[in-house]
Amino acid sequence: MSEKKIKFGVIGAGKIGTFHVRTLSKMQGIELVGVCDRDATKAQKLAWEYNCTAYTRYQEIVPQVDAVIVAAPTELHHQIGMYCLERGVNTLMEKPIASSMEQARELIAKAKEKDVILQIGHVERFNPAVLEAFKYIKDPKFIAIKRLGPYDPRMSNIGVVLDLMIHDIDLLLTMLQSPVESIDAVGLSAFSEHEDIANVRFKFKNGCTADVTASRISFERARYMNLYQPDAYISVDFMNARVKAYRKKVPVIRSLEDVDVIYPAFDKQMPITSEIMHFADCIRNCKTPGPSGERGSEALQLALKIIDEIKRYNVPKGSEEPKKPTAIDMVKDLGAAAKVVVDETLGNLRGK
């Protein structure tokens, strides 16, 4: 007897929503019911291309499905997520989970109350290169991550920390399983009202230090991670799904022959496919997803702390222009200042 298909809907027909619609349309054991977007043209175009129904109100698509993928703007995550969860619909919420910790807590509580799956879209967790690299990672002492790309106006509603760096925050929390002891963050805005480039130095209680840079004002796109641990160096290319590892064979290295150079081969399935497969498996077998609401909340909390740290040292855009100094402001010597006052007073009297 064939397994019953899970009925899926996608809320949001932008770039990420399109990826989800395209992926769902090809997956076994899944029925793509429809796609929803406030822009009727965008929703209908996707629906025609992938043979499903277009909706303009999420309230219309939710009753038709068992599960939804929310790929709407971050500021709508809480509103849409609460509506879906309240009605017992399993929800894969694109990262970040919400705009605030209060909203995140409410989503998590509602999922528990209704006994439904809430998975957060930290898709990098399903990158085959990351999964392979995890086999070699043991007690790293220093990690360097760079995630760079060109500016995308569609993401101008949030900064680069919530847009890109949150992937790496989730990876660090997953890899190290250690509380963060301190952060040192810098960043600036270039094209948007939020930070467009950020660099953060994390120090973890287990002794590991991580240096993470995220930029959306770079000419070239690059995503990679380098890990250094007592017995090995591991390099991960997120974009091209490649892993390299240098591992010592003996306690004391006397030549390069004492070092193993490893280029592991592995199945390069698309991360978004693995992510949805994991979500579907959790629905069918009542499992807790890897990127759970709780983990999404942890990543959000740290991301918001980083943003606060950046704002503390940034002069906000739109601040008042410096007041033009008066003659007295420009004179430091008290006697000279008094002379200025007298001269200005006499000048005013002569002018009357």
pLDDT digits (tens, 9 = 90+) for 108-132: 999 999 999 999 999 999 999 999 9
Tell me the domains of the chain and their CATH numbers: 6-116 (3.40.50.720), 125-271+304-312 (3.30.360.10)
Dist. CA 44–CA 37, nearest whole Å: 9
Contacts of 332 (CB under 8 A, 6+ apart): none
**What pairs with residue 259 in β-bridges?**
248
The whole-number pLDDT of residue 155 equals: 82
pLDDT-derived band at 257 (thresholds 50, 70, 90) equals: confident
Lay out the sheet containing 232-237: strands in order across: 180-188, 197-204, 209-215, 142-148, 222-229, 232-237, 242-248, 259-262
As a whole number, the mean pLDDT across the chain is 90
The whole-number pLDDT of residue 176 equals: 96
Residue 64: exposure state from Cβ atoms within 10 A (0-12, 13-18, ≥19):
middle
Q: What percent of the chain lies above the pLDDT cut of 70?
A: 88
pLDDT digits (tens, 9 = 90+) for 294-325: 999 999 999 999 999 999 876 455 444 444 44
170-171-177-181 Cα dihedral, nearest 10 degrees: -70
Taking 60 as the threshold, does the pLDDT of residue 332 lie above it?
no
The whole-number pLDDT of residue 343 equals: 55
The whole-number pLDDT of residue 258 equals: 83
123, 238 Cβ separation under 8 angstroms = no
Task: Find the mean pLDDT for residues 158-182.
Answer: 96
Residue 238: exposure state from Cβ atoms within 10 A (0-12, 13-18, ≥19):
buried
The whole-number pLDDT of residue 141 equals: 97
Q: Which residue has the higher pLDDT, 72 or 334?
A: 72
Task: Find the mean pLDDT for residues 34-57.
Answer: 98
The whole-number pLDDT of residue 329 equals: 45
Lay out the sheet containing 30-36: strands in order across: 53-55, 30-36, 6-11, 67-70, 90-94, 118-121
Q: What percent of the chain lies above the pLDDT cut of 90?
A: 81
Taking 90 as the threshold, does the pLDDT of residue 339 lie above it?
no
